[in-house]
Each structure stands twice: as C-alpha cells, then as structure tokens.
Structure 1
Amino acid sequence: MEKKVNRWVILLAAVVTNLCLGAGYAWSVFQAALLEANPDWAQTQTAIAYSISFAMVPLGMIIFGPKLDELGPRRFVFIGGILFGVGMFLTGFVNSVFMLYITYGLILGLGIGAAYGASTSVAAKWFPDKKGLAGGLTAAGFGLGPLIFAPVVRSMLTNYDIYTVFKILGVILLIVICLASTFMRKAPAVEATGAAAVAEGKTYKEMMREPKFWILWAVYTLGATGGMMIISSGASIATNYALGDPVTIVMAVSIANTFGRIFWGSVSDKIGRYQTVVAMFVVVALGLFLAISSPSLGALAGTAGLMMVGLSFGGFLGSFPGITAENWGVKNAGTNYGWMFTAYGVAAVFGPTIGSLILDATGTYSTAFVIVIGMAILGILLQLLYMKKYRNA
C-alpha cells in the first residue's frame, strides 16, 4: 500500500519542473548567441525555432494528455524531461537552421508540452480547494524560468560558447526534471458529488461540443493577446515611448507577469474565478491607457501600465487550468487543458503580429494598444455572458 503523501511536496516538484522548462523561453539570449556564432543565419530564420517550440506545447499536452489522465503525472514529467533535455543537448550540435527547428523547436517543445501538461494537472487534481493558488504557483514557476536562466546563460557565455552552454544545460535540466518527477503521484479519484458530470470529468470531445467551451476559449485568447504583445515587444515599446532602459522595463514586466500568476490565482479562490477574469480585463485596459498616455503622464505611468498588463497576463495563465477543471472535471484535465491552451498559441501569433504590423505602419504602438483595449472590453462582455448563461455550471 502506498504511504500517505504530502500534496504540497508534489506541488513543489511541479513548480521546480516548470521552472526548469521555463529555461526554454530564455530565447532572446540563446538567439543572440546563435546569430553571433552563425553570421550567415538571419534572425527571422532562427525566430521560427521559437515559434515551433511554442506551437509544440499545446500539441504535446494534447498528445500525452489522454494517458496522463489515466496514469498520472510521474511518467509524463519524466518523458517530458528526457525530451526537453535531449532537445536542449542536441541543439549544441546543430549546424543548420533546419536542425535547430528539429532540436529546439520540435523535440524541446514537445518535451515542454508533455511535462507542463502533467505538472499543471497537479494543481487541478491535488488542490480542488485551492485551484487558483496552486495553478498560479505552477504557472509562476514557468514564468520565473526565463528570469532566472537568462542571466545564468549570459554568465555561462563568458566562459563557454553557445553550443557548450546548450549541452551543459541539457544534461543538468534533464536530471533535475527527471528527479522532480519521482515526487509526482496520481491524485486520488474524485467522488461524484453534486454535478456528477463535472466530478467524473468529460472528455475533450464532449467539452468541445459545448458552446461554453468556445466562449471561454475566446475569453482566454482575448486575455492573452495583449500580454503576448507586451512580452514579445517590451524592449521596443520601452524605446518607442521613451520609458527608460529597455532591459529594466522588460525585467519589470516579467516580474509583474510572474507575480500575477500567484496573485490572481489566490484572488480567484476568494472572489470567484470569473469575477477575477473580469477584473484582469479591466486592469489590462487601464494599463494600456496609461501606456498610451505616457507622453503626457510620464515614463513612470507608462511603465506601470505595461506592468499592469503583464500582471494580468500572468493571471490568465494561472486561472484557466482551474477554470477548465471546474467546468469539465479533473479526470481528463490534462487533455482538456491542452485544447484550451491552444487559445494561448493563437494569442502568441496574433499579439506580436498586430503590434509589429501597426508599428511598421504608424511608427507607434498606440493603435495596437487601442485594439487590445477593445479586445479587453469584448472579453468582459463575453465573460459576463458566460456568467449569466452558465452561472450554475
């Protein structure tokens, strides 16, 4: 008989796992070093590797999700750790952009999807009473990854070339993630009480046939779009609005993003998840208004505005695993959230693209910010529609 386990230890292992996976998103540092080592490569070419990696995350969650829900998180965090570490390690041998797409894009990205899907399911299944806080903590681990590993990689590059750095990180992160997986356990079955269908858990096919899935998917997409625009273009926005040192602004937004995953998750446990989503949209709109007004209000107001967007962006990531489990049960939470997480992938494409196109056309991000404010208003309306129609769901 398996001895009693401490669910907080399991959650800590999930946070450590996501912290390691977040190293994959210290991309700006990796990319700069790769371009320096390969002057014949173009930034637009190498950026595709990052896009492929991002696209593989929800795909990995969808591929591994069905077995994850059946067998528990341990083996899938282990598999994800192997894929992630091997992908990172093999990137240390690439001599062409195409090979970079395979190692860093495909293999590493699938590893993130496998392990992130498993670690995220821990929050929903082990913490039904604290879904928001637990989901926020696991998401915060992922957000902290780039903040921690970017300076680590920069320091390593003073002593090693980028290819050696990839090899060293690949080995270390593989070991740490696989060790963390040994602390994972399958959550006890949820007894059907109240809404039996939710307690037992619906499949992704059943979930996607329900109109409320598409309402929430649209809400998630609208909520993440502004955040992806700010995260991907923070340095450029800081320069465009003369907010100060771009690196400092990017770090400030990243810290707000990470803190938001915990803060909003905790808030949602107290006031309700859907009320929290509405509040996050309001904060996004106010933050972008401050950013647009920074020429008259000052750089501090503009920086605060960008941090408000980052804060709420983290909140969407921390809230939606719990929202998904709350609506369609924890039994198939890994697979179901994989499909919900495709909203984040769509936002990752449209957010940066909208910002870049409008900057090229107008020389400023102001019109893009107005569009995202409109998205926030639409998100509020959709969330209120959901609350009115499915308040007892």
Structure 2
Amino acid sequence: MELTKKRWIILIASCFINLCIGSIYAWSVFAAPMAAYLSSLTGRTLTPGDLAIVFTICNSVGPITMISGGWINDRFGPKKVILVGGILFGGGMILSGFATSVGFLVFAYGIVLGLGTGMIYGCTISNSIKFFPDKRGLVGGVTTAAYGLSSVIIPPIANMFISNSGVTSAFFIIGTAFLIIICVASFFIEKCPADFVPTGWTPQAANVGRTLKEDKNWKGMLASPIFYVMILLLISGAFAGLMCVSQASPIAQKMVGLSAAAATTVVSVLALFNTGGRILAGYVSDKIGRVNTLAITSLLSVAGLVLLYLSGESSVVTFYMGISMIGLSFGALMGVFPGFTADQFGAKNNSVNYGIMFIGFALAGYFGPSIMRSVYSADGSYQRAFVIAAICGLTGFILTFVYKWAVKRQDHKTMSPPNVMAN
C-alpha cells in the first residue's frame, strides 16, 4: 500500500492512542473519590485540592520523555517509543490503584504515567504531521483533538466504575484497557521517510505567499529569538486552560453549587469544546495562519475568564458559557502549536523541537493549578485566579504581535542582499 494511503491508517492508530493518554484530563473526576479513599486510610482529611499536585507533576514531567522520546523517534522510529510509553502509561494507572498515600499516587500517576504520556504524545503528533505536510494544521488539530476527546468519554465511564467498584478498581480496569489498546495500536505506526511527499502535492504550490522555513535542530531553534516569543505565547495561552481543567469539577461545585454528578457534566462540556477547538483551529489556521488564529483564541480565553469571574452561586448559564470558551480557546492553542512549531523550525526535527517547546505547557501546568489552589486557600474564592489568568491571556494576545514583528525582522535580515558597490 502506498504511503499516501497508508498514512491515514497511521493517523487513525495515532488518534486511538491519543484517546487513551488524554484521560489525564479526566483527573478531576478521580480526585474527589481518591481524596476520600486516602483520607479513610490515613485518618487525615484530604481534599481534591490537596491532590492537585498529582496532576501538576503529571503535566510537568511530560517534556522529559517528549524530548528523549522524540530523539529516539527521529532516529529509530516511533513504534518502539510508543510501545514503551504505553507500558509506562497503563502501568502508572494500574499502580495508582495500589496507592495508600499521596506520595505513592504522585509517583504512580504523576511520574510514571506522566512520563509515559510525554513519550507517546510527542511521537504520535510529530510523526502524523510529517506524513501530512499538505494538511499540517488540520492533522495537528485532529491528533490533539483525540487527546482532548478522552475527557468527554472517560469521565462517565470512570464514574460508573467508581460508583460500582470503587476508585481503586476504576484505576485497575481503565489502566489495563489502555495498556492493551496503546500497545496493540503501536504496531500500526510507522516512521515517516525523510523524503516523503504525498501523491499529487507540490510543496511550492502549497506554500504560495508563505516563507519556506529551513529545518533547524534544537540548537538552531534555541538560538532563534522567535523560539522564546513562541514558548511565552504557549505558557500564556495554556495557563487558563490547565488551571480550569485541573479543578473543573471542584470549581463547579464550590463556586456555582452544582452537585457532583452535574459537575462531571461540566468536565465533559469543557473537554468537548477543548476537542472541537483543536480541530476547528487546526483547519482555520491552515487558512488564515497560525499566529492570527492564536490571537483570536487569546481574546476568546479572556472573554471566558471574565464570564467565570462574574459567575457565582446559581449562575449556571454564565458559568457554562465561560467554561466553554476556556475549553475552546485552550483546545485551539494545543491544536495549532504542533504545526506552528513545524512551520517555524521545519518538520524534520519536530519531535525533539516540539518536545522542548512543550516545556512551556509544563510550566503552565505547574503554575496554573498551583496559583488557583493558593488563591482559593487564601481567599475562599476563585475570582482572583481568573483575573491572573486573564492577564496571561492578554499577554498572549500582545505576544502574537511581537511574534509578527520578530518574524518580519528575521525575514528582512535573511532576504537582505550583501552590500554591493553602486555602479
């Protein structure tokens, strides 16, 4: 089967794999019952906020294996990387069911599962983008959307297992299922040849009006001032999304007064818009440009945060509108950035380059939930955290203009002819 057709099978397998690892976004559904379970074991009262460190570390360690796994992927192919990552991911979730302390849960879910997530995520997305140079934005959106879609599907399934069998059994069952799915799907993944060009696609024709970027390795990327603008843009954009995703269920219960069951619906709605934003923005960014799409999503995030700030007890409609906007803008950011990185620094080394860029996501994943937890502990409300996140969103909007200025300056230097004596 020629690669132009086979690439679709590889994309579908990648999406199934990302559907499994995206279950980390359903953490808030596990947080409350796990806090109650550990409280009963330790005799110490724990809240979902006390377990936010688990989600924070899970996001923070991802870039470690994204970079190392990306390096292996670029040399030996993604199949082995995804297989090992699947064992870590499924094994980490299964181990979480044996947790008897917050420390062990941090190790199992935060570190083991988090390392597996980073190893897989970088490979599936970067490899898929290489197979689709003609649809880079759309495929980046689709592969990351599968990752986000998991938190639409997993919360009700996890809730069912938690209600029927308990939270530890839910970890065992879901972890085993994901371990099998990822490892089987990894055998359908192939490495994209360096010289691959889809049948009927001409790179020159597809890039009319767009500057073709030279492939840069990680050293070349880090030497470019544009990288630092981009990673700050990623931090600013991901801050609000990760802040809300990590504690969507507790926010809905404490701020709006929703029941635990209704709060699970909030998690699914947030994830649904997160997923839709990835596909929509990926497609739109192929039409209007990545940075223009990011400028729009930055403003959308600010608007959503304003609505959350105005929400209170029984402000259900305002709250749902705000959380939906946050999900849409966060999803758009994550859908656009893989292609954005490949556009700027080339697709050849994108596995490692995007892994390094993803450090921005990890930083946002640490500071977003941490600041929200600290604000709630100090104020007894989330409002000040929404203000901080809105400032980050506005910073991201400003950075899109800084990026355009930096690119024009770089292109001007590149295109400037050497000094020639006048006739």
Q: TM-score, normalised by structure 2?
A: 0.83
Aligned CA distance change for structure 1 residues 198 and 175 (closer, same or farther; 3 Å): farther
Could you tell me which of 261, 264, 267 is aligned with 1:250? 267
Take 1:247 and 1:170, find their aligned partners in 2: how far apart are those partners? 20
Could you tell me which of 229, 237, 240 is aligned with 1:215? 229
Could you tell me which of 254, 258, 276 is aligned with 2:293? 276
Q: CA deviation at 1:333?
A: 0.9
Give the 5 Å matches for 1:184-199. 184-190=189-195
Aligned partner of 2:176 in structure 1 is: 171
Q: CA deviation at 1:322?
A: 0.6
Aligned partner of 1:377 in structure 2 is: 394
| Contact map agreement 2:241 2:326 (CA 8 A) in 1 | yes
Runs of 5+ unmatched residues, structure 1: none
Could you tell me which of 216, 227, 239 is aligned with 2:241? 227
Single out whichever of 137-146 and 351-360 deviates more from structure 2. Answer: 351-360
Residue by residue, what CA displacement relative to the aligned partner does 1:104-161 show, whole Å, maximum 9, x if unpaired?
Answer: 2222111111111111113321111211111111111111222212221222234434
Aligned partner of 1:22 in structure 2 is: 22
Give the 5 Å matches for 1:13-162. 13-38=13-38, 39=40, 40=42, 42-43=46-47, 46-162=51-167
Amino acid at match of 2:222: M
Residue by residue, what CA displacement relative to the aligned partner does 1:168-202 show, whole Å, maximum 9, x if unpaired?
Answer: 3332211111111111111121489889x976632
Take 2:119 and 2:10, find their aligned partners in 1: how far apart are those partners? 17
Runs of 5+ unmatched residues, structure 2: 198-202, 412-423
Amino acid at match of 2:156: P
Take 2:74 and 2:159, find their aligned partners in 1: how far apart are those partners? 38
Aligned partner of 2:332 in structure 1 is: 315
How many residue pairs match? The answer is 392
Q: CA deviation at 1:387?
A: 0.9
Take 1:366 and 1:31, find their aligned partners in 2: how far apart are those partners? 22
Aligned partner of 1:338 in structure 2 is: 355
Q: CA deviation at 1:2?
A: 8.0
Take 1:252 and 1:301, find their aligned partners in 2: how far apart are those partners? 14
Amino acid at match of 1:10: I
| Contact map agreement 2:25 2:246 (CA 8 A) in 1 | no
Aligned CA distance change for structure 1 residues 375 and 99 (closer, same or farther; 3 Å): closer
Aligned partner of 1:350 in structure 2 is: 367
| Contact map agreement 2:91 2:175 (CA 8 A) in 1 | yes
Do structure 1's residue 305 and structure 2's residue 360 form an aligned pair?
Answer: no
Take 2:69 and 2:363, find their aligned partners in 1: how far apart are those partners? 20
| Contact map agreement 1:73 1:118 (CA 8 A) in 2 | yes
- Percent identity over the alignment is 38
Take 2:10 and 2:160, find their aligned partners in 1: how far apart are those partners? 31
Aligned partner of 1:204 in structure 2 is: 218
| Contact map agreement 1:235 1:250 (CA 8 A) in 2 | yes
Do structure 1's residue 263 and structure 2's residue 264 form an aligned pair?
Answer: no
Take 2:120 and 2:277, find their aligned partners in 1: how far apart are those partners? 22
Single out whichever of 371-380 and 2-11 deviates more from structure 2. Answer: 2-11
Q: Secondary structure at the match of 1:26?
A: helix
Aligned CA distance change for structure 1 residues 67 and 154 (closer, same or farther; 3 Å): same
Aligned CA distance change for structure 1 residues 108 and 238 (closer, same or farther; 3 Å): closer
| Contact map agreement 2:81 2:120 (CA 8 A) in 1 | yes
Aligned CA distance change for structure 1 residues 6 and 226 (closer, same or farther; 3 Å): same
Residue by residue, what CA displacement relative to the aligned partner does 1:306-344 show, whole Å, maximum 9, x if unpaired?
Answer: 211210011111111111111111111111111111111
In terms of Rg, which structure is larger? 2
Aligned CA distance change for structure 1 residues 291 and 28 (closer, same or farther; 3 Å): closer
Take 2:85 and 2:184, find their aligned partners in 1: how far apart are those partners? 12
Aligned partner of 2:185 in structure 1 is: 180
| Contact map agreement 2:142 2:278 (CA 8 A) in 1 | yes
The alignment yields a C-alpha RMSD, in angstroms, of 2.9
Single out whichever of 236-245 and 108-117 deviates more from structure 2. Answer: 236-245
| Contact map agreement 2:375 2:384 (CA 8 A) in 1 | yes
Q: Secondary structure at the match of 1:390?
A: helix
Q: CA deviation at 1:250?
A: 3.3
Q: Secondary structure at the match of 1:81?
A: helix
Take 1:99 and 1:301, find their aligned partners in 2: how far apart are those partners? 38
Amino acid at match of 1:259: G
Take 2:25 and 2:306, find their aligned partners in 1: how far apart are those partners? 28
